């Protein structure tokens, strides 16, 4: 029986850990052909081996979403290996939290480059294929940080809300040619906060994550839900967070 995922070709960025890795494993288990991208080749190679050992089908390409060509290569790999691309999951993201008046301009630029431009590059790589095929699905991983604005997260939330805006615009502009889904996770067990530069902020956020966070697989299941719907059904927005998160 067709489960809505079997045989679909899905590209996933930020797939070396967390939500991206969990999504690749879940979709491959449900019969998707997954093409995974991230910067850490050793992690990608290990993920590919794991999926294949479980009977799944996977390929990988080292992918830095700050480089438009890397996203084009990821999509090209999907087409070369499997002949098409059905879903593009723009998952890669980073966070650098600080008060705006600390003027961490380098941190701002990094978040803009990865969280916003990286998503745009993923969209730019996928849409020509979708136009040619007459179908496709863009899934953008956003954040609850853009839904509730709090101190220290101003620029991070701004990048995520920018993605929320462009996702809705793309959905309206598609006129049914492709589907667009935005998924906003709350606290999730992932490595996202491990790279925050400020030690005090990183420790505080990590403690909250370790207390409240839901597993990355919870987000993967939401992604699978959006993909498995019939072609005429477009799941626009999903917010998924711990029950105890404010």
**Which residues does the annotation mark as catalytic?**
156
CA distance 16 to 42: 9
Residues 8 and 30: beta-carbon distance below 8 Å: no
Residue with structure tokens 């960025």? 13
Q: Which helix (H) or strand (E) holds 182?
A: strand 179-185
Residues 121 and 65: beta-carbon distance below 8 Å: yes
For 33, the 3-state DSSP assignment is strand
Q: Is the dihedral of CA 210, 213, 215, 219 positive or negative?
A: negative
Dihedral pair phi/psi, residue 12, rounded to 5° = -135, 125
Alpha carbon 113 to its chain's center: 15
Candidates 180, 58, 161; CA nearest to 123 is 180
CA distances from 20 to 81, 232, 244 (A): 20, 26, 24
Q: What's the residue count for the chain?
A: 246
């Amino acid at each position: 029986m067709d489960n809505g995922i079997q045989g679909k070709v899905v590209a996933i960025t930020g797939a070396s850990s967390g939500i991206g890795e969990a999504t690749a494993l879940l979709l491959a288990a449900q019969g998707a052909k997954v093409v995974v991208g991230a910067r850490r080749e050793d992690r990608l190679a290990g993920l590919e081996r794991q999926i294949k050992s479980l009977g799944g089908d996977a390929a990988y390409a080292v992918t830095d979403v700050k480089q438009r060509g890397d996203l084009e290569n990821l999509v090209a790999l999907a087409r070369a290996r499997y002949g098409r691309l059905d879903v593009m999951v723009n998952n890669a993201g980073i966070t650098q939290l600080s008060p705006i008046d600390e003027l961490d301009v380098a941190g701002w630029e990094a978040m803009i480059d990865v969280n916003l431009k990286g998503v745009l590059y993923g969209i730019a790589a996928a849409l020509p294929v979708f136009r040619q095929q007459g179908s496709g699905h863009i899934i953008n991983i956003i954040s609850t940080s853009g839904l509730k604005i709090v101190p220290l997260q101003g620029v991070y939330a701004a990048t995520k809300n920018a993605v929320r805006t462009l996702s809705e615009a793309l959905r309206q502009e598609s006129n049914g040619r492709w589907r667009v889904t935005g998924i906003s996770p709350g606290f999730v067990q992932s490595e996202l906060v491990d790279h925050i530069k400020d030690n005090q902020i990183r420790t505080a956020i990590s403690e909250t994550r370790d207390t409240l966070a839901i597993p990355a697989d919870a987000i993967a299941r939401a992604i699978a839900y959006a993909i498995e719907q019939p072609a005429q059904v477009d799941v626009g927005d999903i917010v998924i967070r711990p029950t105890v998160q404010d």
